Structure 1
Amino acid sequence: MADDETTNPSRLIDPRSGFCPDTNTFHSLRPRVPLPPPSQPLSLTQYTLSLLLSQSSAPAPNATVLIDAASGHHVSYSHFLDQIHSLTSSLAASTSLSRGHVAFIVSPSSLHVPVLYFALLALGVTISPTNPLSSHSEIAHQVQLTNPVIAFATSATSHKLPTLPLGTILLDSPEFLSMLNGNRPNSDRVHRVEVSQSDSAAILYSSGTTGRVKGVLLTHRNLIALIEGFFRLTSESRQKQTETEQPQPVSLFTLPLFHVFGFFMLVRAVAMGETLVLMEKFDFESMLRTVEKFRVNYMPVSPPLVVAFAKSELVEKYDISSLQLLGSGGAPLGKEVAERFAAKFPNIGIVQGYGLTETCGGAARMIEIDESQRHGSVGRLAENMEAKIVDPVTGEALPPGHKGELWLRGPTIMKGYVGDDKATAETLDSEGWLKTGDLCYFDSDGFLFIVDRLKELIKYKGYQVPPAELEHLLLSHPEISDAAVIPYPDEEAGQIPMAFVVRKPGSNITEAQVIDFIAKQVAPYKKIRRVSFINSIPKSPSGKILRRVLVTHALSAGSARL
């Protein structure tokens, strides 16, 4: 028996947790997903469209792929594919864009952006989309990092851009529309550029919540590996449901397409032949109206939106009975919020996932509704992924049930940070392990739990206090609509937990009541000792709390008391 274990290390892997005590490594409990040979030339566009067309249940040519929520304008799959072919051909003919060039994109979500992404990727051009609300200085920093040769913007955003070698093309100009809707070229035009899977596909920007924004370099193979996993697992799940044949799934995107979560969910949805409803500007009531109007089945969301669903009375005004599932990601979703949502919407499931821009957005997720009952978890390790839980002090890799920094390794891990070798070396080790900076643990069933960001832990008299734990408790209070917890400097304790609280309309909850509410539920060292009431919590597009903004606000407001 011992000899078998020596020659077959997989025998050592606990089938329940995925942990191998020999290497102190966690392995995915998902079936291994085969990937195309690395040497095979293949762009993300070519791969995604091949998946779309290979399905036995591929959408009919007149089936809808994109809907603009505001105008109601529909784009069919046949027209969408024609636009990709036309734009690819037009860009190749009218510009000197070539494989390896970078295209900078500054545009809100629109029906044109998905076509632009697929066309550029087909040409081997690296796409680099940014938040259209970025300031001049933020864009200048990103342009300096990525060195783009061309930009795509709108009339409202182009003024933020410097002059680039191939200029700026406006997505709302007649020139661009003619490129989109020109005569359809030879149908295999989109495949003529030979793109290597190891070529750069996208430079996406990390949220910058704990430092200056970094450009995360993802390859075609990184993204192919991610989508292949989603495609195989979703296909299997759908095959199980064949007896209750469902209409074409309709997803609503409140996520910005420049963010990794929105980007990969867009590509996944096209590969699966789904219908996407895009919202340029998010507004909670408009979102509810859109769900009702287009009979939306699924929405990828960030946790603040789940909180809004659970607490808002506006929901009662709309028919959202078509909604079957929310996919939560971008930040941890608290157990209390998930339970409150489940009590209010028993027919809508929530599956959680976890990832970083550095992992293409995917690292762990739930794939079955029964997994979603593990409240507080972000699911199990994604297919083809390995993980370690590393003690931040000793560097020792730990078994299930122990907290430490999460390290990840697998085919979706980024190539590195553009123009920042130092940051790349600090984050990626020589064996390909990505140090996430997240304090986590796996339970005995292989479910991953995110405790908090290591850098955001509050150090109270030597004790470590996770802000996320206190935030989840605060959100369970019926008079609190949103909350954030930060470290506040204290001469005696070093740091104390300070809460920023958004009251529900009509509430007069006091600082003393907030402090008392938490004190009854936590150990003494975790108590909140200072409260500030605020109109809204500043957040990144993915829903992450911008703690640095709140820390600055607290210090400037309370400097006299420091």
Structure 2
Amino acid sequence: MTTSSPPGRRSSAVAGAPLATIADRLGGPRVDHLLSRAAAQAPDRTALRSPDGSGLSFGRLDGQVDAFATALNALTPGPDSVVAVAAELSPAFPVAYYGAARAGRTAALVNPLLREDALVHVLATSGARTAVLTPEVYLRVRTVRDRLPRLETVLLTSAAPGEDGAALLAEVVAAAAGGPVPSAPADPEAVANLLFTSGTTGAPKAVELTHRNLTVNAAQTAHAHGLDAGSVVFNYLPTYHLMHLNAAVQAVATQLLWTDPDVPGSLAAARAGGTTHYYSLPMRLSRLAADPAGGAEGGAEVPTLRAVLSGGSALPPAATRGLTARFGVPVVQGYGLAEASPQTHFDRLDDPRAGSCGPPSAGTESRIVHVDTRAELPVGERGEIQVRGPQLMKGYLGAEPAAHLDAEGWFSTGDIGHTDEDGRLFVVDRIKDVFKCDNWLVSPTEVEEVLRRRPEVADTVVVDRPDRFSGSVAYALVALAKPYADEEGAALAAVRGANTRMPYYQHLRYVEVVEGIPRSQNGKVQRREIRDAVHGRDLPEPSPDGPLEVTGSADPV
């Protein structure tokens, strides 16, 4: 556990370097100044390389950002207007994102995987007047345009057949090149971005991130990840995340953007590009760890690789160990959330520990408190994770300032975790996912980990099921591994075997066989929808002697 410092103070040296030292490397008071600084230092260095092999230097990227800022001055006159930007993994995103900041606008980030109603919520809540969208997102927005009266202009990131009424971002940028670049105020405390929460407990909330939040976190992240001007970052995520963009630009590192769904095949591209840092999701990394072929063309090794970095959710320790043995480099993960720009913790590259999210980032404080009493807990005890630091958001859009903080400035994350003697964080579960059986706290994630060790199980998710005697009991959805898919009783055998390795209150009382576990594109389990479906079913009570296999019901989502 870290910190017992007085209210209002922040640690000066938590993750190996003082925040003041890291902050000295920042590019300026606005987030787009990170790019200006990189372009001044290395104008000809490749900033972005796309899957098609095309590249964009820092100097050219900065010029396109200038041009888009110029265009925005004409499209949305007046400062402080909002520009929605679909966070697709392409060069169009940094052009629009940094261009909005350079024009003094606020960028509202749009998940390109959202459907119509969710898009209406994000665009209407943000008040966006201009939107830079992929053709796929535009098709969805066009069907609900009548519900978005404030949206005036849509620009497309790429051309697509049948797309009328929306100009191409590239054409707008080309037309504005050489024009007068707006002089936006350099206020580090101004809101730079609106980033929407995942909405697991209701409609997504708009998080207000300032320029200072983002530039500080870019420096914290680049330092923790070991990024420098010689780094080549392989970005293998379904969408463009601010952390990966800003940290790489902060370090003046080259980014390789990769979108091919062939996970083992990605290693050939990583090897050809001289990758030093391979970023991906736990779902993809777990597949890579289980790949018996050893990658594309029979050679999985990437000689230039320094680290494999995971984010989005917990990477199973078994996958961590497998990848470490395979590549001979640290396989590490961190912890963060939208409200913290996002990183607050990251494991040590020189001494990684499987399952750990590492110590707090430089200048960040973290503690564990009792869920009910809010008292600070000692090392090893589980409770809610709280954080505070300079990367913590300004607030939620429409809420009172500092309403998200307690009297001492701590932000409650809603996650359950514990720390070890070295101050490393271990995240257990979400508070709203944890449930009580006979007044014992049960973590679905921990039960899933035990169940995944069974050979019959390819994937699983565990949720609570109301029980009239115990309060709640564990209910598992199981996708069977191929050799067991047609074997009668395989799921029950897996559950019985797992139950022998857990205390009684964690025992699985229901099991349902499904073809696949419902997940989002970024690999996160759709736990709320699954729980709602499970709670809505009229099922018999399981026998005290063992679990009940649920049959004949549809996939919950």
Q: Specify the TM-score bucket, using the shorter chain as the normaliser.
A: 0.7 to 0.9
The Cα of 1:268 is off from its aligned counterpart by 1.0
Match of 1:68 among 35, 50, 53: 50
The Cα of 1:530 is off from its aligned counterpart by 1.7
In structure 1, what residue type is equivalent to 2:217?
A: L
1:429 maps to what in 2? 406
Change (3 A) 1:233 1:105: closer
TM-score, normalised by the number of residues in structure 1: 0.84
The Cα of 1:353 is off from its aligned counterpart by 0.4
In structure 2, what residue type is equivalent to 1:547?
A: R
Unmatched segments (≥5 aa) in structure 1: 1-16, 239-246
Single out whichever of 123-132 and 20-29 deviates more from structure 2: 20-29
Please report the RMSD computed on the Cα atoms of aligned residues, expressed in angstroms.
2.9
The Cα of 1:277 is off from its aligned counterpart by 2.1
2:169 maps to what in 1? 176
**1:276 and 2:255 matched:** yes
In structure 2, what residue type is equivalent to 1:178?
A: E
Change (3 A) 1:368 1:154: closer
In structure 2, what residue type is equivalent to 1:32?
A: P
Match of 2:422 among 445, 458, 469: 445
Match of 1:127 among 87, 107, 131: 107
2:150 maps to what in 1? 164
Match of 2:448 among 464, 471, 474: 471
Change (3 A) 1:97 1:479: farther
The Cα of 1:496 is off from its aligned counterpart by 1.1
Single out whichever of 379-388 and 467-476 deviates more from structure 2: 467-476
The percentage of aligned residue pairs carrying the same residue is: 25
**1:198 and 2:178 matched:** no
* Deviations, residues 347-368 of structure 1 (Å, cap 9, x unaligned): 1321110001111111110232
In structure 2, what residue type is equivalent to 1:119?
A: G
TM-score, normalised by the number of residues in structure 2: 0.85
2:14 maps to what in 1? 29
Match of 2:357 among 378, 384, 390: 378
Change (3 A) 1:334 1:190: farther
- Determine the C-alpha separation between the residues in 1 that align with 2:47 and 2:28: 27
- Determine the C-alpha separation between the residues in 1 that align with 2:56 and 2:10: 43
2:36 maps to what in 1? 49
In structure 1, what residue type is equivalent to 2:451?
A: L
Change (3 A) 1:560 1:400: closer
The Cα of 1:292 is off from its aligned counterpart by 4.4
2:201 maps to what in 1? 210
SS of structure 2 residue aligned to 1:513: helix
- Determine the C-alpha separation between the residues in 1 that align with 2:185 and 2:527: 44
Match of 2:340 among 344, 359, 366: 359
Unmatched segments (≥5 aa) in structure 2: 160-166, 542-557
Contact 2:310/2:333 (CA < 8 Å) preserved in 1? yes
The Cα of 1:560 is off from its aligned counterpart by 4.0
1:491 maps to what in 2? 468
The Cα of 1:503 is off from its aligned counterpart by 2.4
Match of 1:482 among 456, 459, 463: 459
The Cα of 1:183 is off from its aligned counterpart by 7.1
Matches within 5 A, 1:533-548: 533-548=513-528
- Determine the C-alpha separation between the residues in 1 that align with 2:217 and 2:193: 14
Count of residues paired in the alignment:
517
Matches within 5 A, 1:387-402: 387-402=366-381
2:545 maps to what in 1? none
- Determine the C-alpha separation between the residues in 2 that align with 1:367 and 1:301: 18
Matches within 5 A, 1:227-266: 227-232=218-223, 248-257=230-239, 262-266=241-245
SS of structure 2 residue aligned to 1:353: strand
- Determine the C-alpha separation between the residues in 2 that align with 1:234 and 1:498: 38
